[in-house]
Structure 1
């Protein structure tokens, strides 16, 4: 499973461009997603943080190494919420959108690399079911979600009106509001379902109630 790094609008694409600050025509190795300051930035897939540092041009940067020689980079963050060596899951918040470093406005500069070679993030993510800047943080609900929910253990993350289920393999699956309200909220009274992005817990009783409702 892969997900959007943030919700926003594409403001600059991968490829040659005139740099907005220097005025020099250079290669733009990522895709810029404009969003308000403080907008959550999420890891697009499970991996290990290999770089988390303030740099001159990229501002607050985080790099995440994924399986298959894939590396993703997240630049211009207001804050960094992941440290080097930390293992992150897909959909985990790692920072917020900002304009640190060389930036003319609040946005996320997102890069994807395979075995050291930069990729155009839009087709790269599209091949993994994600439309950058689409306004949704995950590719959506897979058709086998009920079978998935029956597998355990499960943990819930709430991000405002968006709800996610983790199925013990590091992947977070988006549950639309209608599905969430009918399947989850209706069958439990456990206050602990409202969890922070970084401290979602496995709730066995909650899992049991969800499965009982789906069965």
Structure 2
């Protein structure tokens, strides 16, 4: 396990959610699944979509270990973080086709472990594709990792980019889930980021273009 490089500029890490004046803050634990490196990021997001860093960890398992021991190591650490931070939801990057079959297998195995741990605790789980996460954070579904990390740092008010990339990706997944499931109204006197505005515009456009269904009598 390693502690990634990222510091909030004006907020400290906390172990209990902060309740926003406009309503309940949601705490989301995001997972960028991987067998060698698994990013886990926890954020608090208010109904006005203001996000705060709670914690971020990159769990590592050595290739010299048997598969079952690697899964146990990663699973135990995810479980520890779930019990420590008590999120209301878990967000996981959805497995998608890659050329490297062994990488896909590792991602799928860790995803299964995370899904199992979330289900044991009765937590809501969201699966998000990489392009979905990139669109939510940057407004561009083909953004590169640096662009994602830059926007994550901006949204969370960090002094520097989260490193390594697994840390930034895990935080992006958590933020994406909260924004997609949460409130869409800016606070009085507040404003949304460019990425938030783009995401909301896409949501509204999709809603308007969706075919209307007639109720059958």
Q: Which one has a larger percent helix, Structure 1 or Structure 2?
A: 2
**TM exceeding 0.5:** no
Structure with higher strand content: 1
**Could you state the TM-score of these two structures normalised by the residue count of structure 2?**
0.26
